[in-house]
Structure 1
Amino acid sequence: MKFLFTFLILLFFNLISAQSDMERFPVFDGCKEKASDQLEDCFYARLYVQLKDSYRHPVKKDSIKNQSVTIRFEVDREGKFVLIRTDALKASVKEGMIKAFENLPQVEAPTFNGAPTYMQFILNIPIPMKDFGSFQVYSSSNKDLKKQNRKEEEEDSLAFAKANEEYSTILTDQYDRNQLRSDAIIPLSYQRYHRYEAAMNRVGNNAHTAVKPYTFNYVDQYFDLEAERESLLKERETWLGRKWSNEHFFEVAGKDYWFVVDPGVDLQVGRDSRDEVTTYNNTRLVHVSGGIGSQITFGTSIQESQGRFPGYFEREVRLRAPDGGNPGIVPGRGIAEDGGENIFDYPVATGYINYKPSKYFDLQLGHGQHFIGDGYRSLVLSDNSQPFPYFKLNAKFWKLDYTVLYTSLRDVRSEVTADDSFRTKFMTHHYLSWNATKRLNIGLFESVLWQDDNQRGFDFNYLNPMIFYQSIELQTGSRGGNALLGFTAKYKFTDFITAYGQLTLDEFSGASVVRGAGSYQNKSAYQVGVKWQNAFKLPNLMVQLEYNRVRPYTYSHNTVVLNYANSNQALAHPWGANFYETILIGRYTKDRWYGIAKAIYGERGYDILLHGDTAFYGGNIYGSEDDRISDNGNETVQGNISNFFFGHLEAGYVINPASRLKVFGQVIYRSQNPRFNNDVVRGESTVWLNFGLRTDIMNWSFDR
């Protein structure tokens, strides 16, 4: 028995020895004299030296330290090195290692049982490579791994991911101005958009410029966004310098995703000469934009603000106070809380997610603002109202651009509040833009509002994106909805001169217009304007002249909830109705500097509200048509007539073109002189001097 036990032990060790002799690592020239049990160490040592001699470490201002490269490769039956996969955090490191690997010499092939075979390896290489360094070996094999991979592909892939420490190899530093080539939204800004429109309005372009906001991808077809960004870059050596002057604060990108984050501010301080008020605004915000794959983009902004405004604007805020005790609504921003000492505390939040199923369609769900038109004002839909929830469908093909907008709005006035909650109403809007020729664009629009009464909710009659709403409104009852129709047009005289216009018809009665009796049913508005780019042959100077005229009772309704407004803010022109105005604007841009000069003159018709005269003269779109002064004899600008003048000069400097942080100074002069002073309007002249540092992601409209 002892003899048998000894024999088995000797046999076992002989088998192990034989097995070891059957397996041999690839052999470099310098390893041929080594014993069999030393070939493995010699192979790794020679391989490290060969790669170190060929590898060229990237030299950058932000040097790459304490990183690694994971490589998976095989040595085939001919002794050639075949690279399978390379992973590294930095693309430059990865590319350098691939080039180094291509310089490896041919070696003696690995063998198994005396026959040439394949051998596969997974190694981790510390970067930068140092003298007398070494690998971290994850695995090696002497089997025909090609055959094994075919049988065990899933197990091998999972094992490799685990061995390669998947988390540490996720790429996050590949951002290369991805935003400028994406379908992300460009925040609405007059000063920012005027340069884009100069390029988009050239004769022969198939661009549609009325529906805003634009996306980066759309603008980039006509205006080179990357070239503009490149021209504005400043030489900065430090990380802080680059983030302050050139880049987004936080930039992340990998193979199939990207996003940027910018903290921001809107800090203003000024002085109102008339009311002797020191004004200020203190906004802290964060703005996020990103994309996942090629079809999904998203964005959001969150703002928390406190402000004290000049006297005329403060009264505007308080006149719009909602039910429930809050002191007012900041136009374009939202409901404000009382911060004490005439200070308003108001938050703003916007956001969207956009899905592009094909190159022709965009589907967007969000909470934000919209603008339709080519003018400074819009008589169709503007960003005068605070952000609201919406779903938007857009299709661009051939010479057409078709937009459908489904929205949810609120009426927050005390007289219409039900069960201590704001009244909900809905709006659906269609806009079709057609480039009829290389110079002429024609647009058609229709919108309908209806209230959420009798548990009506979102009426499915208005979901159809192709329907004519006037007929549906009649079927659901004329007091059950408020429909608007209209036209827009744009004509390019040259590459630099463009004329535009709008016509809005609200409960329009053709017979009343023909009779010419001044019927209250003639509820209409029109706009005409012209833009001159590179005016007076000065590059980047734009001069704009615009005229707007809105008849009394336009945008109002006999069912007062159905006025064309949201949260006590007009959805079209901020003056409501019963007015005319002339606007002259000049905008100039030079590198990062800009200047604005604006003058507005007009006449507005208010309600008298004195001496027992409580009649509705048609200027306040929240009034009821049942209280109108007469069926006929109505004229544009009637009632408590007031002339209006607004002058605005501004100069500024864009600190960071990526985040749109800018510093500015402005002086505003405003004068109004009504026939009668009342709680709504009074004669006054104001000079407001204001300075600020702000992230330009929303328009401020103080000309009201």
Structure 2
Amino acid sequence: MSFKHILLIPAALLCFTVIASAQSTNIPLGTYAYPVLQRLEIKSGQLAPQFSTGIRPYTRKSAADFVWDLDSASKSEQTDSIRYMHPYWHGLNLSKVDQYNMGKILEDNPEWVPDSAGFVPGKHPLWNTFYTNKANLITVNKKDFFLVVNPLLDLQAGKESADNQFDYLTTRGAEIHGLIANKIGFYTSLTENQERPPYFVQNWINQWHAVPGIGYYKTLKNGEVDYINASGYISFGVTKYINVQFGYGNNFIGDGYRSLLLSDYSPNYLFLKLHTHIWKLDYTNIFAQLTSQSTNQGDYLRPQKYMTINDLSFNAVPWLSVGIMEAITYSRANHFEFAYLDPIIFNGFVQQALGSPDKDHIGFHAKAIVAHHFEFYGQFLIDEFKIKDFLSNNGWWGNKWAMQVGGKYVDAFSVKNLDLQAELNVIRPYTYTHDDSVSNYSNYNQPLADPFGANLVEVDGIINYQPVNRLYLNARIMVSQQGLDDSTSDWGGNIFINYNKRQQEYNNRILQGLHNNIVNFSLTASYELAHNLYVDLSYLKRKNWGGYPEYWNLPNENTGFFSLGLRWNMGRRDYDY
């Protein structure tokens, strides 16, 4: 059967919306709300009861409910009742900046704020149509119909030390989201983009035949590219506890800066997602159609492949969450493997029952909140594993695993709204690869996990500081070491190579091959001129050395990049690799 028959699934589920509860669209990934919500959860001292921060994107309703409860707990007249429901909130200490950020989230999601408190009138509405609501260009709030329309804009210009030309980014578009009868949510966005990125990104595009996070593009001149980016989905409920989304977008599993399980680094893809939130459990099922790797550019039908992910998170105690996930990626001749549609079965068993032709792995993740200031998190992925070879430390190639450990510290050193994060990622050689190179863990020539692939050690450090309401300061450093291949050998860093071409059976070690080093450091200052309208000033310093660049056509780079930009209703496009 063709993958298009999956369209019958959401169509059938729509029949249940007559008795469904209210459903919400998502907060777009990469926007300001994510670090704010994660910070507020840590300050609350317990896991957010409305949603799991380890599954992104978050729904607008769950975010608004969480912020509304926190806001109520901070007000004396409602403190006793709210804190009785959430006893860990006794240590709640919100700053004025926190209150400002919470107000922004409520204003951006007014349809889910009680008593219409999120509908803040615009100061200067135009023709009684535009900006009647402070946060949105157009707001329609009628019985059984809610609609928001906003422009999307990102204009960046910069100068790089590696060459004599100016780099730039121009993004123009719009997004629409809304509700029908408070039961069906819908979202769509479309942007048209031209970009001349820094020199190292141009090299990346030439090497992998894709724009990072985008995929298909057209080449212009002097390293310039042109591309369209779009997403869209519908959302509805089957019961009070189960939400269904179908459309085109991205997903992220984990609490870190990177994810070794599923990241949003690759381009958008077609997906069907079921999310169950009940008791202490969050259970997510993702069925997706991906694009296989290709070295050819131009207009033609790219080969497709498919992915099934099941992820279960359990709030063991109010401050500790643990979870397990499994992922299957595979290729079929233009059809989805319906054996993987069962949402409550161990797909590793199904994969073996089919003859073990596909790529599968299991992951574990955990998060703990400590003392209203700290969060510790981690992931461990098992791609393939033999205990005997692991204990013997013989370097068997098939012991493929990845590990992440990290921590966050909010209001660091008693400085309000100073937040720190540190993270370590370690990935064994040949992790995410497969004997069928099409079934590797990737989408459109880009990894579905860490952007560098495998055979690496990466350390990330992040500082976020918001000293006043409208000023956002960020510093980030990424230090990566990776073992690359030479022109004749596969040492396990390139996930797109069939692992049967591996260099050796045993004595495989992390960072084997040609040792490559990257340091990527950035400073960004953003000031909010008006609601969700930012001016950005940033500096990026990147150094890449080692790795025998003559084999990869990647020159040793020691480049600095200044940029100034204007951004409206969008997250920043960062070059963090």
- Tell me if TM exceeds 0.5: yes
* 2:396 matches 1:519: yes
1:190 & 1:200 partners in 2: Cα distance? 17
**Residues 276-298 of structure 1, C-alpha deviations (whole Å, 9 max, x = no match):** 23101111111111111222111
What is residue 437 of structure 2 aligned with on the other side? 560
Closer/same/farther in 2, CA of residues 253 and 351 from structure 1, 3 Å limit: same
Q: State the TM-score, normalizing by the size of structure 1.
A: 0.69
Q: CA deviation at 1:698?
A: 5.0
**Residues 290-331 of structure 1, C-alpha deviations (whole Å, 9 max, x = no match):** 11122211111001111111110011111122xxxxxxx111
What is residue 496 of structure 2 aligned with on the other side? 622
- Tell whether the 8 Å contact from 1:334 to 1:347 is kept in structure 2 after alignment: no
Q: CA deviation at 1:477?
A: 2.5
* 2:425 matches 1:548: yes
- Tell whether the 8 Å contact from 2:203 to 2:554 is kept in structure 1 after alignment: no
1:369 & 1:230 partners in 2: Cα distance? 24
Q: CA deviation at 1:420?
A: 6.1
SS of the residue corresponding to residue 24 of structure 2 reads coil
Q: CA deviation at 1:235?
A: 8.2
Q: CA deviation at 1:447?
A: 0.6
User: What is the one-letter code of the residue matched to 2:573?
Assistant: W
1:238 & 1:244 partners in 2: Cα distance? 5
Which of the residues 82, 86, 103 maps onto 1:227? 103
Closer/same/farther in 2, CA of residues 348 and 215 from structure 1, 3 Å limit: same
1:231 & 1:290 partners in 2: Cα distance? 15
Closer/same/farther in 2, CA of residues 686 and 400 from structure 1, 3 Å limit: same
Closer/same/farther in 2, CA of residues 270 and 234 from structure 1, 3 Å limit: farther
What is residue 476 of structure 1 aligned with on the other side? 354
Unaligned runs of 5+ in 1: 1-180, 322-328
2:512 & 2:273 partners in 1: Cα distance? 38
What is residue 634 of structure 1 aligned with on the other side? 508
1:530 & 1:438 partners in 2: Cα distance? 18
**Residues 391-415 of structure 1, C-alpha deviations (whole Å, 9 max, x = no match):** 0000000000000000001114148
2:133 & 2:540 partners in 1: Cα distance? 29
- Tell whether the 8 Å contact from 1:645 to 1:672 is kept in structure 2 after alignment: yes
Closer/same/farther in 2, CA of residues 291 and 438 from structure 1, 3 Å limit: same
What is residue 187 of structure 1 aligned with on the other side? 28
What is residue 11 of structure 2 aligned with on the other side? none
What is residue 485 of structure 2 aligned with on the other side? 607
Which of the residues 326, 335, 340 maps onto 1:462? 340
Q: CA deviation at 1:234?
A: 10
Task: Specify which structure has the bigger relative contact order, considering alpha-carbon pairs within 8 angstroms and separated by 6 or more residues.
Answer: 2
What is residue 156 of structure 2 aligned with on the other side? 268
SS of the residue corresponding to residue 172 of structure 2 reads strand
Which of the residues 136, 160, 167 maps onto 1:279? 167
* 2:198 matches 1:350: no
2:253 & 2:31 partners in 1: Cα distance? 13
Q: CA deviation at 1:272?
A: 1.1
**Residues 653-675 of structure 1, C-alpha deviations (whole Å, 9 max, x = no match):** 22343xx3322010000001114
Closer/same/farther in 2, CA of residues 409 and 568 from structure 1, 3 Å limit: same
Closer/same/farther in 2, CA of residues 250 and 488 from structure 1, 3 Å limit: same
What is residue 163 of structure 1 aligned with on the other side? none
1:274 & 1:244 partners in 2: Cα distance? 47
- Tell whether the 8 Å contact from 2:480 to 2:518 is kept in structure 1 after alignment: yes
1:695 & 1:235 partners in 2: Cα distance? 17
1:382 & 1:698 partners in 2: Cα distance? 16
User: What is the one-letter code of the residue matched to 1:381?
Assistant: L
2:546 & 2:222 partners in 1: Cα distance? 29
* Paired residues for 1:352-431 under 5 Å: 352-414=233-295, 421-431=301-311
Q: State the TM-score, normalizing by the size of structure 2.
A: 0.83
* 2:541 matches 1:669: yes
Larger mean CA deviation between 626-635 and 675-684 belongs to 675-684
Which of the residues 454, 459, 477 maps onto 1:582? 459
Closer/same/farther in 2, CA of residues 373 and 696 from structure 1, 3 Å limit: farther
SS of the residue corresponding to residue 221 of structure 1 reads helix
Sequence identity of aligned pairs in percent? 32
What is residue 448 of structure 1 aligned with on the other side? 328
**Residues 577-604 of structure 1, C-alpha deviations (whole Å, 9 max, x = no match):** 0110111101122312211001111211
Closer/same/farther in 2, CA of residues 671 and 408 from structure 1, 3 Å limit: same
Q: CA deviation at 1:229?
A: 5.5
What is residue 80 of structure 2 aligned with on the other side? none
Unaligned runs of 5+ in 2: 1-21, 69-100, 109-119
Q: CA deviation at 1:244?
A: 11
1:508 & 1:681 partners in 2: Cα distance? 34
SS of the residue corresponding to residue 37 of structure 2 reads helix
1:305 & 1:420 partners in 2: Cα distance? 21
1:584 & 1:386 partners in 2: Cα distance? 25
Q: CA deviation at 1:680?
A: 4.7
SS of the residue corresponding to residue 330 of structure 1 reads coil
Q: CA deviation at 1:185?
A: 0.8
Query: Highest Rg: 1 or 2?
Result: 1
What is residue 204 of structure 1 aligned with on the other side? 46
Closer/same/farther in 2, CA of residues 646 and 502 from structure 1, 3 Å limit: same
Q: CA deviation at 1:354?
A: 0.1
What is residue 198 of structure 2 aligned with on the other side? 310
- Tell whether the 8 Å contact from 2:419 to 2:465 is kept in structure 1 after alignment: yes
- Tell whether the 8 Å contact from 1:244 to 1:656 is kept in structure 2 after alignment: no
Q: CA deviation at 1:220?
A: 2.1
**Residues 633-664 of structure 1, C-alpha deviations (whole Å, 9 max, x = no match):** 1111111101211111000122343xx33220
Which of the residues 491, 494, 516 maps onto 2:368? 491
User: RMSD across aligned C-alpha pairs, in angstroms?
Assistant: 2.4
Closer/same/farther in 2, CA of residues 420 and 369 from structure 1, 3 Å limit: closer
Q: CA deviation at 1:514?
A: 1.9
SS of the residue corresponding to residue 505 of structure 2 reads coil
Which of the residues 136, 142, 145 maps onto 1:254? 142
1:245 & 1:596 partners in 2: Cα distance? 30
SS of the residue corresponding to residue 549 of structure 2 reads coil
- Tell whether the 8 Å contact from 1:332 to 1:700 is kept in structure 2 after alignment: no
Closer/same/farther in 2, CA of residues 661 and 508 from structure 1, 3 Å limit: farther
**Residues 106-155 of structure 1, C-alpha deviations (whole Å, 9 max, x = no match):** xxxxxxxxxxxxxxxxxxxxxxxxxxxxxxxxxxxxxxxxxxxxxxxxxx
Closer/same/farther in 2, CA of residues 355 and 699 from structure 1, 3 Å limit: farther
- Tell whether the 8 Å contact from 2:32 to 2:571 is kept in structure 1 after alignment: no
**Residues 540-598 of structure 1, C-alpha deviations (whole Å, 9 max, x = no match):** 22110111100110011111001100000110110100110111101122312211001
**Residues 335-380 of structure 1, C-alpha deviations (whole Å, 9 max, x = no match):** 1102233210110110010002332110100100111100000001
SS of the residue corresponding to residue 195 of structure 1 reads helix
Larger mean CA deviation between 339-348 and 570-579 belongs to 339-348
Q: CA deviation at 1:608?
A: 1.8
- Tell whether the 8 Å contact from 1:200 to 1:223 is kept in structure 2 after alignment: no
SS of the residue corresponding to residue 249 of structure 1 reads strand
* Paired residues for 1:644-663 under 5 Å: 644-657=518-531, 660-663=532-535
User: What is the one-letter code of the residue matched to 2:185?
Assistant: T
- Tell whether the 8 Å contact from 1:674 to 1:681 is kept in structure 2 after alignment: no
2:465 & 2:390 partners in 1: Cα distance? 42
2:368 & 2:238 partners in 1: Cα distance? 32
What is residue 689 of structure 1 aligned with on the other side? 562
1:245 & 1:531 partners in 2: Cα distance? 35
- Tell whether the 8 Å contact from 1:617 to 1:638 is kept in structure 2 after alignment: yes
2:418 & 2:255 partners in 1: Cα distance? 17
**Residues 662-703 of structure 1, C-alpha deviations (whole Å, 9 max, x = no match):** 220100000011141122533211101111112354553412
